[in-house]
Each structure stands twice: as C-alpha cells, then as structure tokens.
Amino acid sequence: MGNYSIVALPGDGIGPEITDVALRVLDRVTAALPDLTVSVASHDAGAERWRRTGTAMPEETFEACQRADAILMGAIGLPDARHPDGREVNGDVIFRLRFALDLFAGIRPVRSLPGVPDTLAGAPRIDYVVVRENVEGLYASRTGGTNVRGEVATDTIVITANGTRKVCEIAFDLAARRTGRPQDGRRVVTCVDKANVLSSYAFFRSVFDEVADAHDDIGRDHVYVDAMTAFQVQRPETFDVVVAENMFGDIISDLAAATVGGLGLAASADVGYRHGMFQPAHGSAPDIAGRDVANPTAMVLSTAMMLDWLGRRHDDQAALDAAAMIDAAALRVLERGETVTADLGGSASCSAMGEAILAALGDGTTGAAR
C-alpha cells in the first residue's frame, strides 16, 4: 500500500495555474486507487516570495523537501527577480534543491504525441530520453566564474569520474527497461560530448565507455554535440537514451522539446538515489501568466513521472498504475484534439485542459507505454 508525502512548490508565473491542474488530477487518480494515498503539502517558494519577504525558500520549506517522498514543482523564477550581484533568485530554490538533495540526473522524455502536429515535417516516430548530468559540468561553478578587469571572463567546467559514472549508470538502466529506439528497436545509449576539442569532454566519454563496457547487452554510440543538434532534426528516430554533460544536456533537451510540440508538453524529472523533483521543462512564462492560457500538460505528465518513479522505487503497483492512468488520459485528450491550448494553435484555457484531462481519467483504461 503506497502512502506518500509530497511537497508541492507551485512557484511563480504560470506555476500556480498548472500546479492546480496537476494536483486536481493527482487527487482524482488517488481517489480511484484504494491502494494509493498521496498527501500534498503546498509551500510558498520562489521569486514572488522573495520579493515579499526577502527569502525565496525558507529553511522550513527546504527541510520539508528533504523529508518528502517527492517534490512537485510548478515553475520558479521571474526574469527581473535578481540578487544585487545579478544572480537569478530561482537558483535559491532550484539549484539549492538540486545540489543539496543530489538530484544528479535530469530526465527528459522526448516522444511524438498523438494529435500534436509534427514540427519536423514527415519525421518518423520520435521516442528517446535525454539524461542530463545536473550538478557538474559547465554549470558547476554557476556564478563563480572570474571576470578580470572587464577584459577576460572564465568559467570552469567540472567533470568527475564519480559524477559521470553515476549519470551514465542511470542512462544504461533506463535503456534496459525501454523498448529501444524507434528505428529498429535496438537499445542504445548515445554519449553527447565535444571530445575532439576539450579534454574534459574526452574524459566524460572515457568514463561513459567504461560504464558501457559493463552493459554489453546495450549498444553505445558517440555523437559530437554540434552534429547532435542536426541529427535531432534529421534522424531523431535513431536515438533511444542520450546522456550529456550539464550544459549540453540543457541545450539539446530544449531543442528536443521543440521537435515534439514545444515546452507546454515537455515533462522532466531531476532525480538522485534518494530524492526526486518533478517539474515541467519550461519556466514560469510570465508573458502569459495569470490569464488561464498556459498548457498544463507538461506539468501533468511530470506528475505521472513522479508517480512512476515512486512506483519503481517502492515496488508499488498502485503508483505505477496511477502514472499510467494520468499519462494515458493526457494523451487521449491530445489525440482527440477537441481541447487544444493556445501554444498548440487552439483556444482552450488552462483550466479547460485540466477539466478535459480529468474527464479522460474517468473514461479510459491504463496502460500507456512509459
């Protein structure tokens, strides 16, 4: 019997609107599954809170996140909410949680969704996952780089054997339980780097190869990041699981989202060995906030990822079923094409999309492949 405590951080901009939808969906699905209980504690964190109080995330919220079984985050940050030294306030929440809870792997599924017009005309089915190293790489020093006399600026890339091994293991484990790449069903993990130019990336690749050697039932591939951006457009069906250093993972996962319908559909998870944080890949979208026009689908699919992660972690079929139900309901709404939000060319509101997903939960079966 799964009984989970979740901390919800609705956050800024469209965060509260899409979190509201996700929590209603979560509520509905747990009501339908007697073996699953999820209690949610919502906490106020983010740029708005920082403006009001001077603190983006109080210690009490951080500790609640530490204790929680999982964290569900809407969107944190606003472009003009910055510390006097220029750092965006969202780092006080997102980076803090990522680093302190060692959420070292960013998981971003990329798949063609039914009813969503192909961005890439005539492209075959796309179904891969980007695994991004989350706490090292070029972002490790964050704002700790140097600026010498306004003439020279440097940032240091950090690649460790341990950090690279951990994220590569996650990628191979993921490949082992997926069905393989759309092109031919082959399971293959692709390492994306720039090993031909920087020794740090050559090192990343060498550690990847060591991990790959221990998984000889799964294929391996290497692609330079510049070529990768072209292949994501030209032959996306040849990818299954892709693993990359922090900054490269950031960039290729945004490009990936654009090839399958855009940010409003892009779910993501930041996970480590003990903790998991689930949030849409997009930001707080202040340009459309407060108007009930955001697409809540990425948030709802991230909620499904959370339940799936909990289900696997705790060997809990009810949580796995809940994940599959939510995923299938969101996909059914997209496929029917009757409720379409503005980002996908329609005029349905965020709340109408939420209602449609709730209705679809009531009329379908489980079993969407995840």
Interaction between residue 284 and ligand ATP (CB under 6 A)? yes
How far apart are the C-alpha atoms of 356 and 30, rounded to whole Å? 18
**Going residue by residue from 25 to 64, which x/- string records binding to ligand ATP, judged by CB under 6 A?**
----------------------------------------
Residue 105's nearest CA partner among 163, 153, 41 is 163
Residue 300's nearest CA partner among 228, 356, 226 is 356
Query: Quick one: which of 27, 63, 287, 335 contacts ligand ATP (CB under 6 A)?
Result: 287
Stretch that binds ligand ATP, among 109-117, 190-198, 269-277, 292-300 (CB under 6 A): 292-300
Structure token pair of residue 91: 């780092």
46 Cβ contact list (under 8 Å, min separation 6)? 9, 11, 12, 15, 56, 57, 76, 77, 78, 89, 90, 93, 284
Q: Which of 35, 173, 221, 254 is catalytic?
A: 254
Residue (321 or 343) nearer to ligand ATP, CB: 343
Burial of 172: CB neighbours in 10 Å, binned 0-12, 13-18, 19+: buried
Q: Which of 209, 226, 273, 287 is catalytic?
A: 226
Query: Quick one: which of 106, 109, 264, 276 contacts ligand ATP (CB under 6 A)?
Result: 264
Q: Which of 12, 139, 166, 327 is catalytic?
A: 139
Residue (218 or 294) nearer to ligand ATP, CB: 294
Interaction between residue 238 and ligand ATP (CB under 6 A)? no
Interaction between residue 343 and ligand ATP (CB under 6 A)? yes
How far apart are the C-alpha atoms of 96 and 249, rounded to whole Å? 19
* Least distance (Å) between residue 77 CB and ligand ATP: 5
Interaction between residue 164 and ligand ATP (CB under 6 A)? no
Interaction between residue 298 and ligand ATP (CB under 6 A)? yes
* Least distance (Å) between residue 295 CB and ligand ATP: 4
Residue (238 or 284) nearer to ligand ATP, CB: 284
Residue (222 or 291) nearer to ligand ATP, CB: 291
How far apart are the C-alpha atoms of 256 and 327, rounded to whole Å? 19
Phi, psi of 329 (to 5 degrees): -65, -45
* Least distance (Å) between residue 359 CB and ligand ATP: 20
Structure token pair of residue 124: 């075959």
Helix pair 199-213, 161-177: axis angle to 10 deg: 50
Structure token pair of residue 217: 């039932």
Interaction between residue 77 and ligand ATP (CB under 6 A)? yes
C-beta contacts of 146-153 below 8 A and 24+ residues apart = none
290 Cβ contact list (under 8 Å, min separation 6)? 17
* Least distance (Å) between residue 91 CB and ligand ATP: 11
* Least distance (Å) between residue 288 CB and ligand ATP: 4
**Positive or negative CA dihedral for 136, 137, 142, 145?**
positive
Secondary element (H or E) of residue 266: none
Interaction between residue 283 and ligand ATP (CB under 6 A)? yes
Residue (218 or 344) nearer to ligand ATP, CB: 344
* Least distance (Å) between residue 226 CB and ligand ATP: 22
Query: Quick one: which of 30, 295, 303, 349 contacts ligand ATP (CB under 6 A)?
Result: 295
- The residue count for binding ligand ATP (CB under 6 A) is 14
Burial of 345: CB neighbours in 10 Å, binned 0-12, 13-18, 19+: exposed
Stretch that binds ligand ATP, among 26-34, 46-54, 243-251, 290-298 (CB under 6 A): 290-298
347 Cβ contact list (under 8 Å, min separation 6)? 340
194 is catalytic: yes
Catalytic residues, which ones? 139, 194, 226, 250, 254
**Which residues lie near ligand ATP (CB under 6 A)?**
14, 77, 263-264, 282-285, 287-288, 294-295, 298, 343
